[in-house]
Amino acid sequence: MIKKRYMAIAGNLFDLESESIHAIRLRYGLEMFYLGISKLLVVIVLSMVLGIFWQSIITLAAYNLLRQTAQGLHAKSSVKCMISSLVFFIMLPWTAVHVAINPYLCIAAALAIPLLAYLYAPSDTAKKPIINKRVRDRLKKKSIIRGLILTGLVVVIPDAEIKSLITIGAYVALLYVLPITYRIMKEERNNYEKFEKLN
């Protein structure tokens, strides 16, 4: 239903302007919006069915807080994106609910969040290189600050389950910026360097 609606809107918008840069950007933005909405709806419905709605929301919130500034890889297809979403925002929160995770282990893991953000965020992709150095610096600073906020929450919140959910969400976001993930996915990091060489 959502996909059909997207195709109808996209078709109407780009019939007369299919080759322009503006049209390409707008098409990409619409596609990401509708894929994001459809993914979110599936996650919400399944989390409610499994009785882990708030756990999934907490994980998603921690993930999105860091993901917005850390950037990083994207799944190469909507199917892969959906599968990864189910693993990260359904299976992992469900596991955190049913398997007791040592709170001190969560705190130890959380302490590395701002460090990893400092080392590897932001990461770009070939399709979306972060060319402007000031933008990269600003995103890095924001990623570190948000990493510190998430770490602080893990340290001060007494509930062990919430500690683990925040930690999981943050590490899912960091997974997309790690060099090892780029190597596994056979993608290149620091794509902005290609543009710097041209100049």
Answer whether residue 41 shows pLDDT above 90. Answer: yes
Average pLDDT rounded to a whole number, residues 6-27: 51
SS3 77: coil
Question: Which residue bears the tokens 């290149």?
Answer: 188
Average pLDDT rounded to a whole number, residues 79-106: 95
Whose CA is closest to 44, among 30, 32, 31, 54?
54
pTM to 2 decimals? Answer: 0.84
User: Rounded CA gap, 56 and 96, in Å?
Assistant: 10
Per-residue pLDDT of 120-144, as tens digits, reads 999 998 888 899 999 999 999 999 9
* pLDDT at res. 113: 99
Q: How far is CA 5 from CA 28, 34, 38, 80, 117, in A?
A: 15, 9, 11, 21, 37
